[in-house]
Chain A
């Protein structure tokens, strides 16, 4: 005997009345389950994504990442300037070739690192990481060198430090936007 698509037309079901959708019509039942399940799934997904987007701050309060740091002449060669240390957490270093800037955040666990002129080292007060004038680790637990920041000139000839532009890779950090020949 060949099966026919609609169950109530089959001979063996002749005397059994179809009472509810779960007994016969497996295709309808399947579509019903798939329909409701996908509706529920996408509703929950949309709700979840909305919540994630809700908790993402759209406005950030606080100072700008970019700031003007005065004219290059204000930084004598061979010196590490601690002028922007307190306000911005940035050192500006001038060598005989040019100017570059460090972010004063230790690469170990994020403490503010201090410049010790006598030893010519950046030293972290928390766990004793030491960095040399290149920003490379010479002691302590820090796994990576200090970040160098983007330096450029403003229209009025002042230095502009951009704390959102950071680089610590050797070969890249010494040139381009991270080094300003003066």
Chain B
């Protein structure tokens, strides 16, 4: 049985279908392991070799990895939620209720999306603390620290834009309060210091797409939440992971 499986595996890597996709055989030799890493789009972000302290969980606690995992959970559950959600004043709340009571596993899916979002905010902040306390922000990693701060901001913006989408009382007033703060922006806000713009042209108006929270706001936040912010996050994450490798590998104990 085992021998036959081994023979099948050897035959499989010699077929044209396998060799055209993976180019090299099983990663059971040094050479093939290196080739697997550099020939695969996803793996090539990862270093070919990791320092042995890299598997010491108690130094990094895998907080960046957990954040990334939660981002993937958010993407998958989010795409599934999009199949049953319409960002309009007429349907948004009703669709959210239908997701909870009519769609198969909809309640589970919605809660999973919500709790993974809370978890992601938490792990990203703890990850930042870990990087600070181990001094991993110091040169040559100062640029990656800045990328990380941008990713933290994107995580918070993703949470904030997702907040409005259920279109219930909590969502409406939370975003009313949240976007009202933009009015206090210096120069750009209608009520901030050195204000020059009116209520119809200030930064809050651009954010809401109207004077009050309206269907324009819902659509704006929906597009930001589902398209613009995730795309920006994916791009920055690519840079972030790649720079971890380029800036001397995963940080470890001295």
Tell whether A pairs with B: yes
Contact of A58 with B2 in the complex, beta carbons under 8 Å: no
Contact of B98 with A58 in the complex, beta carbons under 8 Å: yes
- What is the CA–CA distance of A53 and B103 in the complex, to the nearest angstrom? 9
Contact of B105 with A58 in the complex, beta carbons under 8 Å: no
Contact of A55 with B83 in the complex, beta carbons under 8 Å: yes
Residue A50 contacts which of B2, B98, B105 (CB distance < 8 angstroms)? B105
Indicate if B80 sits at the interface (CB-CB under 8 A). Answer: yes
Q: Which A residues are CB-close (under 8 A) to B98?
A: 58-59
Indicate if B29 sits at the interface (CB-CB under 8 A). Answer: no
Indicate if A54 sits at the interface (CB-CB under 8 A). Answer: yes
Indicate if B232 sits at the interface (CB-CB under 8 A). Answer: no
- What is the CA–CA distance of A126 and B98 in the complex, to the nearest angstrom? 38
Q: Which A residues are CB-close (under 8 A) to B83?
A: 55
**CB contact under 8 A between A50 and B104, given known A22-B2, A55-B83:** yes
Indicate if B102 sits at the interface (CB-CB under 8 A). Answer: yes
Interface string of B138-152 (1 = CB under 8 A from A): 000000000000000
Contact of B80 with A54 in the complex, beta carbons under 8 Å: yes
- What is the CA–CA distance of A22 and B1 in the complex, to the nearest angstrom? 11
Q: Chain A nearest CB: distance from B73 CB in Å?
A: 15
Contact of B102 with A58 in the complex, beta carbons under 8 Å: yes
Q: Which B residues are CB-close (under 8 A) to A22?
A: 2
Nearest to B102 among chain A residues (CB) is: A58
Q: Which A residues are CB-close (under 8 A) to B105?
A: 50, 54
- What is the CA–CA distance of A58 and B107 in the complex, to the nearest angstrom? 14
Contact of A59 with B102 in the complex, beta carbons under 8 Å: yes
Interface string of A22-59 (1 = CB under 8 A from B): 10000000000000000000000000001001111011
Interface string of B92-123 (1 = CB under 8 A from A): 00000010001111100000000000000000
- What is the CA–CA distance of A56 and B106 in the complex, to the nearest angstrom? 12
- What is the CA–CA distance of A55 and B2 in the complex, to the nearest angstrom? 40
Contact of B102 with A53 in the complex, beta carbons under 8 Å: no
- What is the CA–CA distance of A22 and B2 in the complex, to the nearest angstrom? 9
Q: Which B residues are CB-close (under 8 A) to A54?
A: 80, 103-106
- What is the CA–CA distance of A58 and B106 in the complex, to the nearest angstrom? 11
- What is the CA–CA distance of A54 and B80 in the complex, to the nearest angstrom? 9
Nearest to B91 among chain A residues (CB) is: A61
Q: Chain B nearest CB: distance from A109 CB in Å?
A: 28
Q: Chain B nearest CB: distance from A157 CB in Å?
A: 35
Nearest to A49 among chain B residues (CB) is: B104
Nearest to A58 among chain B residues (CB) is: B102
- What is the CA–CA distance of A25 and B90 in the complex, to the nearest angstrom? 65
Q: Which B residues are CB-close (under 8 A) to A50?
A: 104-105
Nearest to B95 among chain A residues (CB) is: A59
Q: Which A residues are CB-close (under 8 A) to B102?
A: 58-59
- What is the CA–CA distance of A59 and B104 in the complex, to the nearest angstrom? 11
- What is the CA–CA distance of A50 and B106 in the complex, to the nearest angstrom? 11
Contact of A53 with B104 in the complex, beta carbons under 8 Å: yes
- What is the CA–CA distance of A53 and B102 in the complex, to the nearest angstrom? 11
- What is the CA–CA distance of A25 and B80 in the complex, to the nearest angstrom? 46
- What is the CA–CA distance of A59 and B86 in the complex, to the nearest angstrom? 14
Q: Which A residues are CB-close (under 8 A) to B2?
A: 22
Q: Chain B nearest CB: distance from A35 CB in Å?
A: 15
- What is the CA–CA distance of A92 and B106 in the complex, to the nearest angstrom? 42
Q: Chain B nearest CB: distance from A25 CB in Å?
A: 13
Nearest to B80 among chain A residues (CB) is: A54
Q: Which B residues are CB-close (under 8 A) to A59?
A: 98, 102
* Residues of B that sit less than 8 Å from A by CB: 2, 80, 83, 98, 102-106
8 CB-based A-B contacts, threshold 8 Å:
A50-B104, A50-B105, A54-B80, A54-B103, A54-B104, A54-B105, A58-B98, A58-B104
Q: A22-B2, A54-B103 are in contact. List 14 more A-B contacts (CB 8 A).
A: A50-B104, A50-B105, A53-B104, A54-B80, A54-B104, A54-B105, A54-B106, A55-B83, A56-B104, A58-B98, A58-B102, A58-B103, A59-B98, A59-B102
